[in-house]
Amino acid sequence: MADQLRLMAVHAHPDDESSKGAATTAKYVAEGVDVLVVTCTGGERGSVLNPKMDRPEVWENMAEIRRAEMDAARAILGVEQAWLGFVDSGLPEGDPLPPLPEGCFALQDVEVAAGPLVRLIRQFRPHVITTYDEEGGYPHPDHIMTHKVSVAAFEAAGDPDRYPELGEPWQPLKLYYDIGFSRGKVTALHEAMLAAGLESPYQDWLKRWEDRPDKGPRITTRVECAEYFPVRDDALRAHATQIDPDGFWFHVPMRVQREAWPTEDYQLARSLVDSPTPETDLFAGVRDTVHAS
């Protein structure tokens, strides 16, 4: 057990584990790392984003369907998976924005909501945790809450004076934020598509980036995982209500993706080991510590 590396990836909804860092988790599974995906909500208030699935019976059984989709994606990625049990907050739309639904995940007290994650950390004993940055990756209330709960649990899990009823303390060694898209990545993919004589789906993205900050400078860690991009895409397609197999995610040929940007990228947010950046491994600085123990 002392030599077994363990990675926990904390996500807001079923499908997030397949759209954010999935090739990384598949790579580490293939290398023998134990990987646990934690899903904070059931995705009950998700929309049907695949036109082929837009049927009344799908909307009526959204919670059950999304659980089945998650189970299929979990099997494809080869990960373990656990639900925190919170209720999806939905994505509020309109001007002004409507209030969030009573009892939803984003309205929970952070200290209370971190408890179930602290329990899981103490049970699974991850060395590394990945989650979202303070903006949630994008400003969905559940993603922002996932960030808050993940940081709180990372800091509390090793403290014997906090949540003493939730198991023996365990201190994860590193915390990362997923940086799914940076300006550099989008530019590289856009230019590679044009060079291949193909229409790029990223033109509008680049225009929008003129007025928004770029997270590229925050990247500390680039994990080479292009070999596992097909596994990621298969896991994405398993979330059939959320992912249109003919949609945006699949417009860039695999060859172009692998050549233009063969990594998934992260920001090292907390580290209790010596791990100089830039890194190419989420377990940099951890492997020697674990194996020495």
| Pairwise CA distance, residues 37 & 81, whole Å | 5
- Give the pLDDT band of residue 292 (cuts 50, 70, 90): low
For 83-101, the pLDDT digits (tens) are 999 999 999 888 888 899 9
Output b/e per residue, 244-283; b: 16+ Cβ within 10 A.
beeeebeebeeebbeebbebbbbbbbebebebeeebeebb
HSE (side-chain half, CA atoms, 13 Å) at 188 = 14
Does residue 2 surpass a pLDDT of 50? Answer: no
For 272-287, the pLDDT digits (tens) are 999 999 999 999 999 9
Does residue 8 surpass a pLDDT of 50? Answer: yes
Please state the CATH superfamily assignment of the domain spanning residues 6-181+217-292 in this structure: LmbE-like (3.40.50.10320)
Residue 61: φ, ψ to 5°? -120, 35
Contact 236, 15 (CB under 8 A): yes
Contact 13, 41 (CB under 8 A): yes
Residue 190 counted as an annotated binding residue: no
- Give the pLDDT band of residue 25 (cuts 50, 70, 90): very high
Residue 16 counted as an annotated binding residue: yes
Residue 239 counted as an annotated binding residue: no
Measured CA distances, 235 to 41, 51, 204, 229, 263 (Å):
18, 19, 26, 10, 18
pLDDT in the model for residue 293: 63
| Pairwise CA distance, residues 80 & 78, whole Å | 7
Closest CA relative to residue 16, chosen from 142, 154, 150, 100: 142
pLDDT in the model for residue 222: 98
Contact 224, 262 (CB under 8 A): yes
Domain segments of the chain as ranges: 6-181+217-292
Range list of β-strands (E), the chain: 6-11, 34-41, 80-86, 128-131, 174-179, 221-224, 263-271
| Pairwise CA distance, residues 156 & 106, whole Å | 20
Average pLDDT, the chain: 94
| Pairwise CA distance, residues 93 & 219, whole Å | 31
pLDDT in the model for residue 177: 98
- Mean pLDDT value across residues 111-136: 97
| Pairwise CA distance, residues 137 & 22, whole Å | 15
Contact 97, 140 (CB under 8 A): no
For 201-214, the pLDDT digits (tens) are 998 889 888 788 89
Does residue 48 surpass a pLDDT of 80? Answer: yes
- Give the pLDDT band of residue 261 (cuts 50, 70, 90): very high
For 50-81, the pLDDT digits (tens) are 898 999 898 989 999 999 999 999 999 999 99
Strand arrangement of the beta sheet that strand 80-86 belongs to = 80-86, 34-41, 6-11, 128-131, 174-179, 263-271, 221-224
- Mean pLDDT value across residues 31-45: 96
| Pairwise CA distance, residues 82 & 66, whole Å | 14
Checking phi first, is residue 278 left (phi over 0); if not, alpha (psi -120 to 50) or beta? beta
pLDDT in the model for residue 247: 84
For 171-202, the pLDDT digits (tens) are 999 999 999 999 999 999 999 999 999 999 99
Residue 264: φ, ψ to 5°? -110, 145
